[in-house]
Amino acid sequence: MSATPPRAPAAAPKDVEARQPAPTPVAFPPAALKDECEAILSRYPTRQAALIPILLLAQGHYDNWVSPEVEAGVAEYIGVSDSHVRGVLSFYSMFNLKPAGKHEVWVCRTLTCWLRGAAKLRDTALEKAQAERAGVVGEDGKFLVKNMECLGLCEVAPAVFVDGVAHTNVTNEKLVELMDACE
């Protein structure tokens, strides 16, 4: 309609990447996780409330990432929709929706750390990981470097987590050392 306000052109939309529909859900939980899943469920008032801890458990079990098959399996197990699980998974940065590296390096990118040179840390990490950008596994599959929002360690910024362990006042040298120490 002509009433459309004229304005600067928007970025051209790209086509949605065609994905295979309806993954076959894995049978979840696998035998190895059964007891632990039940223990987690028993701690929460509803099944839905246990979704995040169960997803973390699943990610740990399946090579540090949650495939669509695992997502669908967890959705079935918890009794929520696929879209609900995807909403939670894609919201929290500790979940990986693509195959992840053997080790994870989280570099904080929020204000305090950034002012204290976190951008350089990230570049160093990416270079060591031989990764194109944050969120993409390096060529040898060893490291996944992720940009994170404030890690809650601003008073000892810049902060980095390597495989879930916090490191503070990190320098370039220290980061290289930490990554070298990874097998």
Partner 1 sequence: MSITLTIDGTEITVPEGTSVWDAAKQMGHDVPVLCHDEKLEPVGVCRMCVVEVEGARTLVASCVRECEEGMVVRTGSEVVERNRKTLTELLLADQPEESAREATTGDDQLFALARQYGIETPRFPAGNGRPVDDSSPVIAVDHQACILCDRCVRACDDIQSNLVIGRTGKGYSARIGFDLDNPMGASTCVECGECAAACPTGALINKPITVAIEPKPLKEIESVCPYCGVGCALTYKVDEEANKVVYAEGREDTANEARLCVKGRYGFDYATHKHRLTKPLIRKDAHYPKQALTGAMQRKDDGTRTNGVYPDYEKALGAFREATWDEALELVASKLSAIRDEHGGDALAGFGSAKCSNEEAYLFQKMIRAVFKTNNVDHCTRLCHASSVAALLETIGSGAVTTVYNDIRNADVALVTGSNATANHPVAATFFKEAARNGTKLIIVNPHRPELADHGEYVRLRPGGDVAFYNAIMNVILEEGLEDRAYIEQYTENFDALKETVARYTPEIAAPMCGIEPDKIREIAITIGKANAFLVFWGMGISQHLHGTDNARSLISLCLMTGNVGRPGTGLHPLRGQNNVQGASDAGLIPMVFPDYAPVEDPEVRAKYEAAWNVGLDPNPGMTVVEIAHAAEEGSLKGMYIMGENPFLSDPNVQRARDAFMNLDFLVVQDIFLTETAEVADVVLPATSYFEKTGTFTNTDRRVQLGQTALTPPGEARLDWEILCDVMTRMGYPQSYERIEDVFIEFSDLTESYKGLRYEHLLGRGKLWPCPDPENSEGEVVLFGDGFPTPTGRGKFSPAEVLPPEEMPDADFPFILNTGRTLQHWHTGSMTRRAKALDAINPEAFCEVHPEDLAALGVEDGGMVRLSTRRNSIRVKARASTKTSKGSVFIPFHYREASANLLTSDALDPFGKIPAFKFSALKVEPA
Residues whose CB is less than 8 angstroms from the CB of residue 119 and which lie 6 or more positions away in sequence, other chains included: 109
Measured from the CB atom, is 59 or 110 closer to ligand FES? 110
Nearest distance, CB of residue 157 and ligand FES, angstroms: 5
Task: Let me know the angle formed at the C-alpha of 60 by 58 and 66, rounded to the nearest 5 degrees.
Answer: 55
Nearest distance, CB of residue 76 and ligand FES, angstroms: 33
Buried b (16+ CB within 10 A) or exposed e, 144-175: bbbbbeebebbeebbbbbbeeeebeebeeeeb
Residue 113 binds ligand FES (CB under 6 A) = yes
Residue 14 binds partner 1 (CB under 8 A) = yes
Q: How far apart are CA 71 and CA 69, in angstroms?
A: 5
31 binds, among partner 1, ligand FES, none (CB under 5 to 8 A by kind): none
Measured from the CB atom, is 50 or 153 closer to ligand FES? 153
Distance between start and end Cα atoms, the chain: 62
Residue 91 binds partner 1 (CB under 8 A) = yes
Contacting residue, 31, 43, 83, 133, with partner 1 by CB under 8 A: 83
Nearest distance, CB of residue 84 and partner 1, angstroms: 6
153 binds, among partner 1, ligand FES, none (CB under 5 to 8 A by kind): ligand FES
Report 125-164 residues binding ligand FES (CB under 6 A). 150-154, 157, 159
Give me the residues paired with residue 105 across strands: 145, 162
Dihedral, CA atoms, 103, 63, 95, 138, nearest 10 degrees?
40
Question: Which residues here bind partner 1, judged by CB under 8 A?
Answer: 1, 3-16, 18-23, 68, 71-72, 81-87, 90-91
